[in-house]
Structures are given as C-alpha cells and as structure tokens.
Amino acid sequence: MRSEPKLSPNGAFSAALLDAEQSIPTGIVGPDGAPDSKRFNVYRNNVIVSLVEALAHTFPAVQQLVGEEYFAALARSFVIENPPKSPVLIWYGREFGAYLDAFPPLSAYPYLGDVARLEWGWLQSFHSADACPLDPARLASVSPNLVGEVRFEIHPACRMIASIWPVLSLVQANRFGGVCSKPINLDNPEAVLVTRPDIKVQLSCLPNGAVTFFNALTNGKTFSDAAALASFDDSRFELEATLGLFLGQGVFTDLRVVAGSNEHGKAIANTGEVGCLP
Amino acid sequence: MQAQHSGTPLLRTAPPWRAGVGLKPEHIPEILETHPDVGFFEIHAENYMGAGGAPHRNLAMIRERYPLSLHGVGLSIGSEGPLDREHLGRLRTLNTKYDPELFSEHLAWSTHDQIYVNDLLPVAYNVDTLVRVCDHIDEVQETVGRKMLLENPSTYVAFEQSSMTETAFLKEVVRRTGCGLLLDVNNVYVSCINHDRQPEHYLQDFPIEAVGEVHLGGHAPDMDQAERPLLIDAHDREVDAEVWRLYEQILRKIGPIPTLVEWDNDVPAWGVLLAEAERATGLLKLAAQPDMTYAV
C-alpha cells in the first residue's frame, strides 16, 4: 500500500459505487455545478440492481426457496463482497454456493449451497461447447476382450453434483415452473448428472455407485477399473443400468482403447467426425 | 497508428429503411417461426460469449436470414487501465464467426481494477480521457480488423474536470481514430434534459456525418435532489414522443440510416416491440422520399 492512496477518477467513482456509506466523489456534479447524491445514486442503483438480477437469472431456485425479497438482500451482500471480474455475466456467481454455505443467517437451510451449485452447473452446461454424444454402437463394436480397457472422453457440457441433500428434487420443485406436489424428504441424498446431449440441459438422478463410477471415468480410469471401484464402494452398483444412463444422457463424446502399457495414447476403434445434429 | 477501415458500414442485405430490433431470448421462438420483416437484429456481444449451446444455435439461424449488428456493452473503452485483451479477443471471435454488418461499443467505462460493475459509467471530457479513449479505439479497430461505431452515452452527472463538450469530444475521437458513431437519440435527449441543455443544440454540434447507426429506446422520468427532471435511460418502455421528434429531425438532415429500437427491461410481447420498429420504419421510408410530408 502506498502511504498516500490517491484514487484516480474512475477509482474514486467505483469505490463509492459499491459502498453506499461513502460520500460521492468530489468533482461529480449536477447542471448547477453542485454535487447531487441522488444523481450519483442512479449509478449505485443500476450496478446493484442489474447484478442482483443477473444472479436471480442464474439461481431462480435459490430465489424461490428464500423468497424474492430475501434473495435481493442476500444477492446484494454477495455482489458487494464478490463483484464480477468479467463482463461476461454468464460466468458470474461461481462462488455463490460457497457464500450460501458460509452465510450464518441461512445456517438452518444447509442445502441451499448445493442447490446453487446445481443451478450453476446447469448454466455452465447450457453454454458449454457443442459436441456429439458417443454413439452406443461404437462401444458395442469394441471386441469383448478389449472392452475393459476402454477409456471415455467426457462431454464438455457434462457435470456431476453429489449432495447429501435431495438437491435435484429441490431444484425441480423450485424452477422450470415446477410445483412441489409432495413433500421433499430432506433425508434423501441425491447425486445429479447434468448433461446436454444436444441443446436442452438434462438433469438425472444418479443410481447407487454411479458417483464413484462417474468420478473414476472422468479421472481417466478404464471401464473395468471404474466398474470395480464402483462395486467396491457400493454393492448395489448396477453396471449395465448406469452405463445405459450415461450413454443415453450423452456423458461421453468418444472412447479410446489402449491395449497394453507400451501403446499409450494409441486409439483403436476411434472414428473421426460423426454427425449428430438434426 | 490508425486501423485499416473499410468504408462506412452499411447493411448489405437489407435496405436501411427498415428498422432493426434488439434480440431478446424470449422472442426467439416467435422470430424463428414467423420470420418477421425487420431490417436487422442487434445482439449484446457479452450474451454470446459462451462456447456453444442454444444461444449460438439460435443466433446462427437468425443470422442466416437477417443482417446483424454486434453491440458490445462490456469492453470499457473509457477505462483508465488497458483494455481487457481476452475480452477484446472474444469480440474479434464473434466478429469473425457472425460477420455482422454493424459493430459498436460505448463511450463509457465499466471495469476498474478488474472489477466489472455492469453499468455504462461516464467519463470527464478532457485531453487525458481523449488520449486514452482514442488509444483504446485504435486497439479495438486494429484487433477486430474493422471500423467500429462509438455510442454517445446517457449520463446523470457531469465532471468538474471536463474541459470540452461531449460533441467536441466525439468529433475529436472521430477525427483521430476514424471510427464511426452510433447516435443514440434517447441518450441525447436523456443527457440534455439531465444537464439542462437543448437537444437541438447538441444535435447541431454532433458530427452527424460520422453516424453509421441510430438507436431509439425508452426512458423513465425521475427527479434529482433539487427536484429538477432526471431522466433514467431504462430501456423499459416505448420511445418517448420527444425522441421520435428528434429522430425525424435527424432523418431530415441525413436521410435513411440503420435504426434500432431497444427494449431491454420489462421486455414486452414481440408484437409490441415489432410495432415500435414499424413506427421507425415508417419514418425511414418517408426519409427515403424527401419530397413527402412527415407525420407521426
């Protein structure tokens, strides 16, 4: 820090924008040459209101769960403590889930952070790069003695959010025009697969053991290693059903078979571009 | 150094006597279904900076049928620090991908110390600002490889540090950088009322020959602390009668010019926005036939 922090004009302006307690910067005036705080407050209001709106757009289920008025105050405090670092607001709000986890007044609603993380995952999936999901026939065409060695490429729009709360039920009941027809049992943990095989984001609840299977595959484990880990973790793991879900929801874009340790990276059964868009 | 500029950006595939509209996601299904007769669509560049998905799919379909205007709202040309190179790169990518007929940004700043405050903030009009704004515009035009249009701002405050008028500032920016101007008539009206000036005088001083596009939009009335009128550039309603009147004056002076109707908040049904654009189109058609009488 410099001993005499002298702010530049834009520096003084922006410091006062995000701190309603600060007096307005000197030299900023109305038509009579006199300072007018109501004029400066138009900017203060624009900044806060527009960023709160951006968060409400990204986190509609959180907004519905806490109520519009509470959300506005909550989002306002988040904006002041975590203003955006990029003009691309579809990337604003990554830390909102962690902020909710650590926000003392909301400690009685510990699932809100996961709800926000799922909504964040939905938005990132929505804007991810386009890619063709893997055609299941490609996997079927791999020779049976090599299938265990298959490694999958994960689709850029694919995410997974594992929660100790029924996070998918909470999100589905509180956005997409959802209504809560039956009470949500907070004792039911849910892990959610977020995919976008084409344009529409899909949310699926993962069955037993599928989280381990998914994590192993995304960490580059082979098909057989991932299946073994999942069964070890949860004896209820069903390989066929889980694989069917992953293939059907577009978790993968490609597969590689690396036979033997001296052939790293050599792809067998790897075809080129496959058209998938209608 | 000055950028290489192609000529004045003109709409290639639609006559400028049909007004354009700002593209809103909620209107896209109806637009794709009905193919309305509008001159062009304008997008906010920052809404299309994701890698893929529905926004790009829809925009590509719209682009196939309509001329396009790429309008940046987050580059922060009035920043004291350097431009965000990554952001500028994203603008260049969008320009390459969609080849828009028009490309514009604002005389304003929105980022300071890497904090983005999501509003178009005002600058003092003096030599310091002029030099850095011109440097930034040179950089934009060189990086993107085309001429840009710079939009006049709506402002609520003035700076004691200003030593020239907004119009003198814009004239000098045009002279030094070769950029064009986006004349936002609502911003002219809002700023003039807010600073107790005559919009007609502002327009007389405005370097009108550099205008490549016009914006029309709605504003909300308010009052400042001293209970003087304070107009807010809200883009949340129909274009004001006074703004239509100024627009007619401009058309009389320069003839038909690509014109956009903006409506960004409390977005109405598509038909309401289309009707506003049709009204502008009516005036553009009259301006294409200068011997006809004007009537709104």
Residue A233 falls within a domain, yes or no?
Answer: yes
Residue B276: predicted pLDDT: 97
**Segment holding A150, helix H or strand E:** strand A150-154
Strands B220-223 and B229-232: antiparallel
- Burial status of residue B135 (CB atoms within 10 A of its CB: 0-12, 13-18, 19 or more): middle
CB-based burial label for B136 (10 Å; 0-12, 13-18, 19+): buried
Give yes or no: residues A197 and A255 share one domain: yes
pLDDT single digits (tens) B87-146? 999 999 999 999 999 999 999 999 999 999 999 999 999 999 999 999 999 999 999 999
- Is residue A275 pLDDT above 80, yes or no? no
Q: What is the DSSP letter of B130?
A: H
Query: Min CA distance, B149 vs chain A (Å)?
Result: 19
Q: Is the pLDDT of residue B203 over 80?
A: yes
Mean residue pLDDT of chain A comes to: 91
- pLDDT band at residue B13 using 50, 70 and 90 as cut-offs: low
A127 vs B contacts (CB less than 8 Å): 50-53, 55
What local confidence, expressed as pLDDT, does residue B10 receive?
42
CA-based nearest distance A114→chain B, Å: 23
pLDDT of B128 reads: 97
Which A residues 114-133 touch B at CB under 8 Å? 126-130
Q: How many CB atoms lie within 10 A of CB A68?
A: 9
B187: contact with A, CB 8 A cutoff: no
Q: Tell me whether residue A186 is in a domain.
A: yes
Chain A residues within an 8 Å CB radius of B52:
127-130, 156-157
pLDDT for position A263: 40
* Average pLDDT of chain B, as a whole number: 93
Q: Do A84 and B110 touch (CB under 8 A)?
A: no
Q: pLDDT tens digit string along A108-164? A: 999 999 999 999 999 999 999 999 999 999 999 999 999 999 999 999 999 999 999
* Cβ <8 Å between A128 and B109: no
- State how far the Cα of B192 lies from the Cα of B156, in Å rounded to an integer: 10
In this structure, what token pair is assigned to residue A26?
């000197």
Q: Which of 1.20.120.350, 3.20.20.150, 3.30.300.30, 3.30.70.20 is the CATH number of B20-287?
A: 3.20.20.150
Q: Quick: pLDDT tens for B31-40.
A: 999 999 999 9
Range of the domain at A253: 130-278
In chain A, pLDDT over 90 holds for what percent of residues? Answer: 86
pLDDT in tens, A166-213: 999 999 999 988 776 778 999 999 999 999 999 999 999 999 999 999
Flag whether A119 is in a domain.
no
pLDDT for position A92 = 98
Tell me whether A50 touches chain B (CB under 8 Å).
yes
Query: In the predicted model, what is the mean pLDDT of residues B227-251?
Result: 97
Whether residue A210 contacts residue A248, with contact meaning beta carbons closer than 8 Å, is answered with: no
Contact B228 A31 (CB under 8 A): yes
* Cβ-defined contact of B46 to A43 (cutoff 8 Å): no
Closest-CA residue in chain A for B44?
A88
SS3 A9: helix
Clarify whether residues A105 and A140 are in a common domain.
no
Q: Considering A109, A142, A169, which residue would you say is the last residue of a domain?
A: A109
| Number of domains forming the structure of chain A | 2
Q: Which residues of B touch A17 (CB under 8 A)?
A: 117, 121
